[in-house]
Structure 1
Amino acid sequence: MFGWGKPADDGAAERRILAAVAGLQEKTTEALREGFSELRRQNAELREELRELRRAVTDAHKDVAEHRRETETLRQELQTARREAAGILAEAGARAEAEARARSAAGARARGEAEAETAAAGEVQEEDSGGRAERGRDQDQGGSQDQGEGRDRHTVAEPGAASGRSAPGSAPARSPGAERPEAAGPGPDEDTQKQRLERAAGISAADLVCHRDTWAFIVEQAARNAHFRVPGEITAGKDGATRITVSGRSLMAILTALDAVERQDHRADPGDRALAGKIYERITDVVDTVGPGDGHGRRAAAGHAADETPQRAVIVIDDRPGPP
């Protein structure tokens, strides 16, 4: 009786085991399906984020390229503006130089007209003086003839008449040029001034030592000359003294301007004429001593090195008290 029940129990147990295994398989499969689904979803999200990053990088590249184009455009515009500014500055400099030359030419013409008028006035006064002197000589000759006739009639000779002396107390006759007016101001003649300008033109550079106020006066007078250039090398010293390196061309302009101030009439500022005369004298003291033989040519001919630099001319405007 018991043998018959055992197989039935074994079959039920086997069925239960198979059912449990089938349930486990189904759960495992479901869990795997859910895991794979989650992985697929995360993979899709990652791919979407990657696409977003790629789009952002592409946009960044586009922005960089746009910025580069804008930078290149700005650089070209800046270069164009610089060229235009350089052209404007050059044109302004040329215009200023032309105006300075025109003012210098106008001043030279005015000085020439003034000198011509002065010379004409001097010639008229000289002719008047010569006419008065000629009339005086004619009157003297007529008086001498009358006195000779009187001596012949009265046979009486005046003392000193035979020797040709004038009577005591008589005024001496003036020369034809005695009444010639003085010139408007002292100054070198045209030949001397021309030689000095030529010597100054041959100077490469010269050191001018003076007070800064004296240099300011020089700049005020010479700035109107077309040949004057503001020097780039100015060294300040003690007591307001300065050392300026000027070119020969600027020395020409300074000499011309100072000579013009010296030649002004008596109505001009006496201080300006005094300053111009003293500065002109100190400059010409040095300019008159230079020449092509005092520089590099003589030294090379004497056997010195060819690259030896000649001594630079130094002009000092600094009077000091002498020994007691």
Structure 2
Amino acid sequence: MAFVKLLTFFFLQLILVVLALDLATAQGLKLGFYKKRCPSAEAIVNQTTIQFISRAPSLAAPLLRMHFHDCFVRGCDGSVLLNSTKNNQAEKDAIPNQSLRGFQVIDAAKSAVEAKCPGVVSCADILALVARDAVSVIKGPFWPVPTGRRDGRTSILSDALNNLPSPFSNITQLKASFSSKGLSVKDLVVLSGGHTIGISHCTSFTNRLYNFTGKGDTDPTLDPNYITQLKKKCKPGDATTFVEMDPGSSKIFDTDYYSLVDKRRGLFQSDSALLADSATKTYVQQQATPSGATFSTDFAASMVNMGQIGVLTGNSGEIRKRCAFTN
């Protein structure tokens, strides 16, 4: 039986690799893109990521989120890494991105790769690899990362505001947002499962506790007992306190997120919204049952899909020398 399970696991991983190759070919990316020009690139990124995450496992969630926020704005081009300038406010300074952490991991990986292979490996690829490796270090799923992305030269604050899905989104808004990036409804519900790790500041959900419709009421879709618990932690106007998105296992990549959503304990409106659509609700309930869980494999596949959004390849963009600045 153990051998059969192991064989099944490797078969599923092989399918993911084949899918990644097919998708990557269409987008101009490929597995092992740096094999000739910088053969140690991915190993260097992996080693750097392990060094950071082994000391601070809580960085895995924000690094995963950073990759998501990069890809949803102008595509996976590293634009979220750029600093604002005197004449331009960059994505990094948009309110949804002000809580991003882990830029030092990207910078350290970039510096290490530059020391070995100057001007070869893009910041966009490093971010994609770091996000994967960070999740893997905390025993989450592993997925193939086709490389060959180039770095964008443009980063505009308003683009982040207009493109990032909001924690206050309803299911219609979420489906439209993901569809506009070429992602499916399944990708939506699967990638939402990334909330199984990480924390959130109270400001992202306190409207559900104190003033849901502007009349001092609470969100009727949220479990009343959970509301009581959250009110003990988050007072009105609290902008500094944070809570775990998946209480009790916020550092463990598991299916508990779906169990919470199924029990009406999803922290954000966008989490609760998954129960408002038949397809996403069915998936939530399937993953909430451990015996039927396919989340790990599904998440890997959806991350491959997300990593293809709007990539720059060939002669487009540039290879930045430093990730926070254009050349």
Say yes or no: TM over 0.5: no
Q: Which has the larger radius of gyration?
A: 1
Q: Which has the higher strand share?
A: 1
TM-score, normalized by length of structure 1?
0.21
Structure with more relative contact order (C-alpha pairs < 8 Å, separation 6 or more): 2
**Structure 1 or 2: more helix by fraction:** 1
What is the TM-score with the length of structure 2 in the denominator? 0.21
